[in-house]
Structure 1
Amino acid sequence: MQIDMAFFLERFYPGDYVDSTYDIDYEVLYSQGFRGIIFDIDNTLVEHGMPATGRAVELFERLRRTGFDTCVISNNKEPRVAPFANEVGTKYIYDAKKPSTKNYIKAMQLMGTDRSDTIFVGDQLFTDVWGANRAGIRTYLVKPIDRHEEIQIILKRYLEKIVLWFYARSKKDRRS
């Protein structure tokens, strides 16, 4: 029995793949009816373990002015997540156990949104994107901010490269 590798890997494909969280045109997304954004923190908004930067604070202020509600979800513990969330002024969920869908759904409940008007932004395929895809949320994969990561994440990045190769090929095939 032959397995269609691309079909198997599609569950990990992001809706969109962009260079940075800060490159997404959130105003266009708002005009398309999106109202809630769930973010990962580490290597999505800031370098791993770092406090909120001025750039991150400004992004959340801009999103509030636009009309978005936001929530950060992280597999980290509360001492990491709560201070960051407070600095940027957003709701949060810690120890999210991504890729479980439970806390993506909880984040939507906290924001008063649903699958149809919520976006997820994260830097990892096998936790962030896969969980959001399983929850039925539109996903944005962003390139990691910092190349220096924990060993278990470095190992996953090698597998992500394979998935992203198939993803790029599928996008190219659709354009042909």
Structure 2
Amino acid sequence: MLKRMPFVLLLVAAVLLFIAGLFTSNKEWIDIHLHDTVFVIPQGHILGLAAFFLFLLWLINIATYSILFSNKLTWFHIVTTLGIILFVVWYTFTLTDGQSGSLSRRYIPGPEQPVSEFRDVNAVVMYSIAALTLVQMVFIANLLIGLYRKTTSTESLPL
């Protein structure tokens, strides 16, 4: 079953991330700085968003299973998506060591957290989002090629 329908991995990963998010403390966070705005996201929310995204992809894959062109492209899409999501989750968990504490450290970078660390976090987050977007384009290409093949194969049949 897994060989024909690799999108089951998305559901398994989504359930595991959701359960892990239930048991994760929201006292540790990641700061994302964009221009003059600081986004403070707790780890539990990151896991919940990742689980929701994977669940949504699972639903889309179920709906388009019969239309998709190549099972190899589907495997590539799913494995790469899971790899990127798990890397982001791992990165946020390793990054937040020692960041919980007073509110002053949360919003204002002090001598303990140089500005270059924030730039590194932003770069990793932006590159991960870009890579995730490119991988989703592979899924869209797989879907469009499958739709094209289905329409051209049904048009050539004699009535």
TM tier, smaller: under 0.3
- From the two aligned structures, give the one with the greater strand fraction: 1
- From the two aligned structures, give the one with the greater helix fraction: 2
Q: Quick check: which has more Rg, 1 or 2?
A: 2
TM-score norm. by structure 2 comes to: 0.24
